[in-house]
Amino acid sequence: MSAKKTAFMRWIDSQLKADKAFAHRVDALVNEMKIEQELVALREKRGISQRAAAKLIGASQPYVAKLESGRIKNLGIKTLVKYATALGGKLTLKIDTANSGAKSSHRTMRRNSSRS
C-alpha cells in the first residue's frame, strides 16, 4: 500500500525527471546519507559510544562525530573499512549500473585488503 504523494513530493519528482544533473546530485547525497546512517546504526547496535568507537580506531570522539555526520571531506574507503571492522561489521562496495544495462560489480572490502 503506497501513501498518496503531497504536492511538494510531486514537484520534486517533476524536478528530478526534468533535470538529470540535479537528479544525479540528489542521488549522490542520498547515498552518502545512507552510509552515515548505517555507521551510526552499527555503532548503536553494538552499544558503543562515539568515544569508545574512537578508541577502537585510534581517533578522537569529535572525529567519529564528523565521520558519522558526513563532515569529513575526501573520506577514504580504508577509513570506512577500519571503522566498520572495529565495530564488528564489514564494508560492502556495490556499483549499481542498473540504468546503463551493464552488469553490477559487487565486492566485499576487508580490513586486510590489499586494494582500497
pLDDT in tens, 71-100: 888 889 999 999 999 999 998 888 877 764
Local confidence band at 1 (pLDDT 50, 70, 90 cut-offs): low
Q: Looking at the domain assignment, is residue 3 inside a domain? A: no
Q: Looking at the domain assignment, is residue 91 inside a domain? A: yes
Length of the chain: 116
Q: How many domains does the chain have?
A: 1
The domain containing residue 12 runs over which residues?
Answer: 8-109
CATH number of the domain residue 26 falls in = 1.10.260.40
Q: 103 vs 29, which has greater pLDDT?
A: 29
Q: How high is the pLDDT of residue 104?
A: 42
Q: How high is the pLDDT of residue 112?
A: 42
Q: Looking at the domain assignment, is residue 95 inside a domain? A: yes
Residue 56, class by beta-carbon neighbours within 10 Å (0-12 exposed, 13-18 middle, 19+ buried)? middle
Q: Looking at the domain assignment, is residue 115 inside a domain? A: no
pLDDT at 101 over 50: no
CB 28 within 8 A of CB 35: no
Distances (CA, A) of 35 to 29, 41, 42, 49, 57: 10, 10, 11, 18, 18
Q: Looking at the domain assignment, is residue 116 inside a domain? A: no
Within the chain, strands assigned E span 91-95, 105-109
Q: Looking at the domain assignment, is residue 96 inside a domain? A: yes
For the full predicted model, state whether its pTM sits above 0.75. Answer: no
Cα–Cα dist 11/56, whole Å: 45
